[in-house]
Amino acid sequence: MIAFYAPDASLEYGDRHAAFGIAEDARGHIALVEVTKPGKAPYFDLPGGAVDGDETEGQALVREFGEETGLVVEVGTLVVDVSQPFLKSDGQPVRNYGGIYAVTLAGERPELKVEDDHRLVWLDPRDAVVALRHDAHSWAVAAWMRKG
């Protein structure tokens, strides 16, 4: 597992098991979500999120992709296991830990999308490396490109 720095070492970060994915379209662009919260600057993340209950990382990733983007994906190979401390939009310090996977697009089901503050965007992976909020996500995209 690759561990990334904590933005504030004086805080105690609660563990949050999570999984994220890298999906490529026919143009070679990858799916990101642009997240807009009231009173905050928008930011970009890879689609994905917390593993709930007895879910596997793969199950959580498929569910989260649908909730955030309306896309149906199939989970492929693990790109990297990461640990990324950060402050959530509400200021809560958490440490995401888990896998970032290559995923394959299997379809679209707009009715799955429930997160109104998440908007699907497609970026060239080189631009995504710069745009992504988390260093762990940027590192994973760079590693994914090198394996390509």
Write the pLDDT tens digit of every residue in 1-50.
Answer: 999 987 788 999 999 999 999 999 999 999 999 999 999 999 999 999 99
Q: Which pair of tokens denotes residue 76?
A: 């492929």
pLDDT of residue 37: 93
Phi, psi at 46, each rounded to 5°: -70, 145
Q: In a 3-state reduction of DSSP, which class is residue 71?
A: strand
Number of structural domains (the chain) is: 1
Q: What is the value of pTM for the model shown?
A: 0.95
Task: Write out pLDDT tens, residues 94-146.
Answer: 999 999 999 999 999 999 999 999 999 999 999 999 999 999 999 999 999 99
User: Tell me, what's the pLDDT at 118?
Assistant: 98
**Segments forming the whole domain that contains residue 85:** 2-147
> What is the Cα–Cα distance from 100 to 46, expressed in whole angstroms?
9
pLDDT of residue 8: 85
Residue burial 100-131, b: 16+ Cβ < 10 Å; e: rest: bbbbeeeeeeeebbebeebbbeebebeebbeb
Query: CB of 64 within 8 A of CB of 103?
Result: no
Q: What is the CATH number of the domain that holds 18?
A: 3.90.79.10
Residue 56 in this model has a pLDDT that exceeds 80: yes
